């Protein structure tokens, strides 16, 4: 595993954390809330985003307009069965989701969920660091790199790890602020 690969894997870990954060409600309507929703369409699980135009006409409403009107009922059912806790309103041509304001208890739960996602990201970054350092140590043992080079690369990997852990903390702080802002 080269140094550039280690950095690339860490960037992907941060992106994964960011995607997880996007699925957490913040009290404002966001189309990313529906990212994980899959609809059984003609026997095939299909992402909602590929089946409908999703928009936010105001800060408390998500509007879903399917490309195929016959799919309205299955989209409505998929949203009802999801863990979003939102009730879809189907008017025959579009589905509207009203985003209720979050209670303080729910905000606390969502902050904990965000912290859990961030911790998973940090664990992933630390695992990438471990794999990178193990690879360098094996190369040192096989005399492919000198002891000094090995130490330099290990130090660089540690600095990179610290940088991306700090980045995860920063992203978490932003998400917590988003969730707690009324």
> What per-residue confidence (pLDDT) applies to 1?
67
Pair 70, 121 in one domain: no
- How many domains, the chain? 2
Q: Name 34's Cβ contacts closer than 8 Å, sequence gap at least 6.
A: 48, 49, 54, 62, 64, 79, 84
The domain in which residue 70 lies consists of 31-98
Q: Report the predicted TM-score, pTM, of the whole model to 2 decimal places.
A: 0.72
Pair 41, 74 in one domain: yes
CATH number for the domain that contains residue 78: 3.30.1360.40
Pair 109, 174 in one domain: yes
Domain boundary among 40, 73, 98: 98
Pair 10, 49 in one domain: no
Average pLDDT over residues 113-118: 93
Residues 120 and 17: their CA atoms lie apart, in Å, by: 8
Tell me the per-residue pLDDT of 2-25, one tens digit each, with 9 for 90 and over.
Answer: 888 999 999 999 999 998 888 787
Domain boundary among 98, 123, 146: 98
Burial class from Cβ neighbours inside 10 Å (0-12, 13-18, 19+) for residue 33 reads: buried
CATH number for the domain that contains residue 127: 1.10.132.20
Residues 99 and 69: their CA atoms lie apart, in Å, by: 23
Pair 113, 146 in one domain: yes
Pair 94, 114 in one domain: no
Tell me the per-residue pLDDT of 116-162, one tens digit each, with 9 for 90 and over.
Answer: 999 999 999 999 999 999 999 999 899 898 999 999 999 999 999 99
Pair 115, 89 in one domain: no
Pair 127, 174 in one domain: yes
Domain boundary among 78, 98, 118: 98
Pair 108, 170 in one domain: yes
Pair 89, 138 in one domain: no
């Amino acid at each position: 595993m080269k140094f550039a690969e280690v950095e690339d894997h860490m960037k992907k870990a941060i992106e994964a954390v960011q995607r997880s954060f996007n699925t957490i409600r913040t009290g404002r309507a966001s189309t990313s809330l529906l990212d994980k929703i899959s609809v059984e369409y003609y026997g095939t699980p299909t992402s909602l985003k590929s089946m409908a135009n999703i928009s936010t006409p105001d800060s408390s409403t998500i509007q879903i307009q399917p490309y195929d009107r016959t799919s309205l009922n299955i989209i409505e059912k998929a949203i009802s069965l999801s863990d979003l806790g939102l009730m879809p309103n189907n008017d025959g041509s579009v589905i509207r989701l009203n985003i209720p304001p979050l209670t303080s208890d729910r905000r606390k739960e969502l902050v904990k969920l965000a912290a859990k996602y961030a911790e998973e990201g940090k664990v992933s970054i630390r695992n990438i660091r471990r794999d990178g350092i193990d690879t360098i140590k094996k190369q040192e043992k096989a005399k492919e790199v000198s002891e000094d080079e090995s130490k330099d690369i290990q130090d660089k990997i540690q600095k990179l790890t610290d940088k991306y852990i700090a980045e995860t903390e920063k992203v978490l702080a932003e998400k917590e602020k988003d969730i707690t802002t009324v």
